């Protein structure tokens, strides 16, 4: 049987300032891995070696990769707006630099974190598998550049490295400043819409289940390299029910704003153009547009995935259900006063 990547191995984790990256890096350290993290600012983690800097700096990337047995690459520019070139620099060129540095440093195993959006062209995904990344038809700069990066990682894996692609889908839970906080904040202000009937089935992934899956993927990477796997809780829910549940966990009222999907997509396209013009004239904005074409598609189309191949390959099943996760989120917010 092929080897496993066990505690004691040296592992570089990029993007450790984010919830998922930081949670994975801390768990690895707690379980006895020798962890190096690479990100711009302080990670706030304990027991790890920190390399501060950007994926744009080849010297920084080379220093982080030196002496590593494996890499978990999570760093990315994640947004629904912004200059396309900025996404290219981080998501495409940054991935290329990291792969080059990993090969030069003698790294053997590379876990590349992608997204189901790389293979989502806007139509519903019902019980789907992990289709090949498709930059031409992916919607928006984030999905397009993540698709390009995934293809680069796969190609490099065919020559120089053991590469495993994991695509976590809509990670949420305590500490999540992306999906969770946005839903709660917008619901509190009355700006969280339900598109159409809200009945489209969508699957998500609770944060602790995501961490478990990443550690399982790293451990078994030499045995399952070459695969693409989507990670979810395996519990599709109507999108309206999901949004209402997360809002309620944050003490926010159920969304009352309803929009027809076609209208939302049209408004999203108009808002995107206005946002791009604003950023061209006045520079990058700190906020994000209230609606985009990509967001409208995500809120109105089904996207859930067959998890049988994923669970078999990783020897992993989610241990926290959706309902348990909502309860944990509610209790966390009540006890800390923040998401």
Q: What is the pLDDT of residues 81-115, one digit of tens each?
A: 888 999 999 999 999 999 999 999 999 999 999 99
142: annotated active-site residue: yes
Tell me, what CATH number does 160's domain have?
Answer: 3.40.50.720
27 in any annotated domain? yes
Q: Contact at 8 Å (CB) between 73 and 112? A: yes
Name, in order, each residue with C-beta under 8 angstroms of 5's C-beta and a sequence gap of 6 or more.
11, 69, 70, 109, 218, 219, 220, 221, 222
Reported confidence tier of residue 297, pLDDT bands at 50, 70, 90: confident
- CA 91/CA 76 separation, integer angstroms: 5
325 in any annotated domain? no
Higher-pLDDT residue of 248 and 80 is 248
335 in any annotated domain? no
- CA 302/CA 200 separation, integer angstroms: 5
**pLDDT tens string 29-53:** 999 999 999 999 889 999 999 999 9
Name, in order, each residue with C-beta under 8 angstroms of 171's C-beta and a sequence gap of 6 or more.
19, 20, 178, 179, 204, 205, 206, 207, 210
The residue from 33, 87, 110, 142 that is catalytic is 142
Q: What total number of domains does the chain contain?
A: 1
Cα three-residue angle 52-53-59, rounded to 5 degrees: 110
Percent of the chain with pLDDT over 70: 100
Cα three-residue angle 309-310-311, rounded to 5 degrees: 95
Q: Contact at 8 Å (CB) between 230 and 203? A: no
Higher-pLDDT residue of 113 and 279 is 113
Helices (H) and strands (E) in the chain, counts: 12, 15
14 in any annotated domain? yes
pTM greater than 0.85 (yes/no) = yes
Range of the domain at 58: 10-171+204-234+304-319
239 in any annotated domain? no
Asked if the model's pLDDT at residue 283 lies above 90, the reply is no
**pLDDT tens string 180-203:** 999 999 999 999 999 999 999 999
103 in any annotated domain? yes
93 in any annotated domain? yes
Q: Contact at 8 Å (CB) between 155 and 226? A: no
């Amino acid at each position: 049987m092929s080897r496993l990547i066990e505690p004691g191995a040296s592992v570089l984790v990029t993007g450790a300032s984010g919830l998922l990256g930081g949670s994975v890096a801390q768990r690895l350290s707690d379980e006895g891995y020798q962890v190096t993290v690479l990100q711009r600012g302080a990670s706030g983690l304990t027991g790890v070696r920190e390399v501060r800097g950007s994926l744009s700096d080849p010297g920084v990337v080379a220093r982080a990769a030196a002496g590593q047995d494996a890499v978990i690459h999570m760093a990315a520019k994640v947004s629904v707006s912004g200059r396309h070139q900025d996404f290219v620099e981080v998501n495409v060129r940054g991935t290329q630099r990291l792969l080059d540095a990993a090969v030069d440093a003698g790294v053997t195993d590379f876990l590349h974190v992608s997204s189901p959006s790389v293979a989502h062209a806007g139509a519903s995904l019902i019980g789907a598998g992990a289709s090949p990344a498709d930059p031409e038809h992916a919607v928006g700069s984030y999905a397009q550049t993540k698709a390009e990066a995934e293809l680069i990682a796969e190609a490099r894996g065919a020559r120089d490295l053991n590469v495993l692609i994991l695509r976590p889908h809509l990670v949420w839970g305590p500490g999540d400043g992306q999906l969770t906080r946005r839903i709660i904040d917008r619901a509190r202000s009355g700006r969280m819409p339900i598109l159409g009937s809200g009945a489209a089935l969508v699957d998500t992934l609770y944060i602790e289940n995501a961490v478990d899956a990443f550690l399982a993927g790293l451990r078994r990477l030499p045995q399952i390299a070459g695969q693409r796997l989507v990670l979810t809780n395996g519990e599709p829910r109507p999108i309206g029910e999901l949004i209402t549940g997360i809002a309620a966990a944050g003490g926010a009222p159920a969304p009352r704003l309803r929009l027809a999907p076609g209208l939302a997509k049209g408004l999203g396209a108009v808002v995107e153009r206005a946002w791009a013009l604003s950023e061209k004239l006045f520079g990058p904005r700190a906020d994000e547009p209230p609606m985009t074409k990509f967001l409208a598609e995500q809120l109105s189309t089904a996207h859930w995935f067959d998890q049988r191949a994923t669970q078999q390959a990783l020897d992993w099943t989610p241990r926290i259900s959706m309902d348990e996760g909502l309860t944990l989120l509610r209790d966390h917010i009540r006890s800390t006063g923040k998401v």
